[in-house]
Amino acid sequence: MSDIRIELPDGSVKEMASGSAPYDVAMTIGERLAQASIAAKVDGDLVDVKSPLEKDCKLELVTMKSDEALDIYRHSTAHLMAHAVKDLYGDDVQVTIGPSIENGFYYDFFSDKHTFSPEEFDTIEKRMKEIVSENLPIEREVLGRDEAIKLFKSMGEDYKVELIEDLDEPTVSIYRQGDFADLCRGPHLPSTGKIKAFKLTSVAGAYWRGDEKNAMLQRIYATAFPDKKELKKHLARLEEARKRDHRKLGKELDLFSFSEEAGAGLVIWHPKGAMLRTLLEDFERREHQKRGYDIVMGPQILKTDLWKTSGHYENYRENMYFTEVDEQGYGVKPMNCLAHMLIYKSQIRSYRDLPLRYFELGTVHRHEKSGVLHGLLRVRGFTQDDAHILCTPEQLDAEIKGVIDFVQDVMNIFGFECGMEISTRPEKSIGSDEDWDRATKALISALDDTKLPYEINEGDGAFYGPKIDIKLKDCLDREWQCATIQCDFTLPERFDLAYVGADGEKHRPVMVHRVILGSIERFIGVLIEHFAGNFPLWISPVQAIVVNVTDNQAEYSESVFNQLRAAGIRVQKDLRNEKLGFKIREAQMEKVPYMLVIGDKEMEDGTVAPRHRSGKNLDPMTVEQFIEFVKDECSRYQ
């Protein structure tokens, strides 16, 4: 065999026999490195650590410290789970797909004979551990397309056959471990023994290929980590996340509900939830007015022809609802931008008028599939803190930076860290290449100037323009997409928006679409989980509850309650003939920030004894002092 030259990341070159594997290269450096290597990158492409090298190349060994490692590790564990399921349930179950995902992996199974339940997880995990202990080699095999179809037909794996038939390739790769074989591009770990720690977490339904017209599959979710300590930490975070689930807390705190009678994905706000929402919306109005935004309102439905002009009808209508009035077609708005452009067009604009910033807490409706609805986080009717900035091209950079500063200021108030991502032109889009290029460069330039780190998310922009997606990180290190900044040269062109420049000629403005919190519903869901329902005092639906020790203090307690309410404090009272400890526990369960305990001493002194929900007791104070205390705490957000 002739020698090939293999260049390593440090610039050194190894001469190896053609057909040598990355593992062999690692062995020339050291046995420990060879054992730690789970895959390799050859000229930038991921391959198995035992894949033969046939020509000169650049080689990078992948260990568990590499960025790509966890994805490979979890995908191999998904195969391990499928192997265990097939061993346990045989022909009663067919395998479909099993990718790695953020924080874990899943595998989808089809069966009309067996329904999986969490009670079976221990049995499946036990079989997985047995396969790990066998340390089976995981080996790649390349088959001709017809040969692969024949193999999976013989195994009764109809879904694998369908996948292969849809591939326009002469060959496919499969991976074998023991008597289990799966269709896969790879790469994978070299053996099952490399898998150290995993846990099955839940089971759910999923349509084959995400199409509700197809068969319903059973999806088993799981996670895996290279060591048991990391797995234990992750499972603890999952348990904490379960405790914070906004659907659970929303019910316990009586904030909101959903009803099949009303319709799926439509939120019904209860008094406390409506108060929380109102406080957030009032905060938003104040913050926007401080920054030079004008508050506007548009209609819920607009003529279908308008949606055709904007491109929504062609590019977004599957997400829209339509109706007819007096034989005229209308679209229920999924976005607020059209009415804002009509406001702009209502009179002649000069360059001296710009920028114009239109802000609307606009309720929109989008047709989301029932399978993706998820509490407040994915609904069909929601309100956006939507704004559209119309400016000259020369003003664009400052406006983008202004929105970035706005988002950071607001998120700091709630204790969120922010990460930036630029999403570029998708396949389904409108507008010229030139406009898309100008818009994308404007977003990149603004972020470069701010020195904020960002990533590029190729092909995930809006159909009318690229965008900056701002990811929030909560107290459990989970990321949430809320704020976004979209740069649009296309819709102003389609709606023939213009302003008169200093030269007396007509010019085209640029439009920035942006939200700060995003969907109010979604943001409240995130807030509930971030704070575990323990809202800061300024947005707590109930700030204090008056609690008497005995009936003897009922009249004074009623007087305290009335004084607080008259002063604008959001207050409740619990004057029931119950034990004090019982009433305090109930208030703590409702996560009320302050309990004002009133006994004989407080009644005699004309004071209250505030007790924080954490259990900390404050010094007794007069009602007036408590009112000032609350107002002072909240004033920083006014």
In order of their start, the domains of the chain are 3-62 (3.10.20.30), 71-234 (3.30.980.10), 256-300+334-531 (3.30.930.10), 537-635 (3.40.50.800)
Q: pLDDT tens for residues 379-429?
A: 999 999 999 999 999 999 999 999 999 999 999 999 998 999 999 998 888
pLDDT for residue 3: 87
Q: Which of 24, 71, 386, 469 is catalytic?
A: 386
Q: pLDDT tens for residues 260-309?
A: 999 999 999 999 999 999 999 999 999 999 999 999 999 999 999 999 99
Residues above pLDDT 70, as percent of the chain: 100
How far is 281 from 427, CA to CA, in rounded Å?
35
Q: Catalytic annotation on 513?
A: yes
Does the pLDDT value for residue 1 go beyond 70? no
Three-state SS for 323-345 is EEECCEEEEECCCCHHHHHHHHH
Q: Catalytic annotation on 386?
A: yes
**Cα angle, residue 318 at apex, residues 215 and 368 outer, rounded to 5°:** 65
Closest alpha carbon to 61 in 10, 19, 26, 18? 26
Torsion angle of C-alpha atoms 599, 602, 607, 609, degrees rounded to 10? -50
Does the pLDDT value for residue 2 go beyond 80? no
Q: What is the mean pLDDT of residues 57-66?
A: 93
How far is 14 from 534, CA to CA, in rounded Å?
60
Closest alpha carbon to 426 in 458, 470, 468, 456? 458
Q: Catalytic annotation on 366?
A: yes
CB 389 within 8 A of CB 514: yes
DSSP string, 515-553: EEEEEHHHHHHHHHHHHTT---GGG-S--EEEEESSGGG
Kindly state the greatest CA–CA separation across the chain.
100
Q: What is the mean pLDDT of residues 603-617?
A: 93
Q: Catalytic annotation on 308?
A: no
pLDDT for residue 103: 87
State the pairing for strand pair 571-574/544-548: parallel
Number of H helices, E strands in the chain: 20, 33
And the tokens for 49?
Answer: 């650590």
Question: Per residue in 20-39, is it b (16+ CB within 10 Å) or e — as a string?
Answer: bbbbbbbeeeeeeebeebbb
pLDDT for residue 431: 86
What is residue 616's DSSP assignment? P
pLDDT for residue 102: 84
Phi first, then psi, for residue 437 (nearest 5°) are -65, -45
Helices 69-89 and 121-133 pack at an angle, to 10 degrees, of: 110
Q: pLDDT tens for residues 428-448?
A: 888 888 889 989 999 999 999
pLDDT for residue 168: 87
Q: Which of 94, 177, 218, 384 is catalytic?
A: 384
How far is 459 from 394, CA to CA, in rounded Å?
27
State the pairing for strand pair 13-17/45-48: unpaired
pLDDT for residue 427: 87
CB 296 within 8 A of CB 314: no
Q: Catalytic annotation on 467?
A: yes
Instruction: Catalogue the long-range contacts made by 496-500 (C-beta closer than 8 Å, 24 or more residues apart).
Output: 496/345, 497/341, 497/344, 497/345, 497/390, 498/349, 499/349, 499/350, 499/351, 499/353, 499/354, 499/392, 500/348, 500/349, 500/350, 500/351
How far is 507 from 351, CA to CA, in rounded Å?
9
Q: What is the mean pLDDT of residues 332-336?
A: 94
pLDDT averaged over the chain?
A: 94
Q: Which of 246, 513, 522, 583 is catalytic?
A: 513
The amino acid that residue 387 corresponds to is: A
**CA dihedral over 508, 509, 510, 511, signed as positive or negative:** negative
How far is 215 from 628, CA to CA, in rounded Å?
61
pLDDT for residue 601: 94
Q: Which of 366, 522, 530, 573 is catalytic?
A: 366
Q: What is the mean pLDDT of residues 53-78?
A: 94
Distances (CA, A) of 109 to 114, 161, 165, 166: 10, 14, 19, 19
Distances (CA, A) of 46 to 3, 6, 71, 72, 187: 22, 15, 11, 10, 7
Q: What is the mean pLDDT of residues 242-254?
A: 95
What is residue 47's DSSP assignment? E
Q: Catalytic annotation on 337?
A: yes
CB 495 within 8 A of CB 345: yes
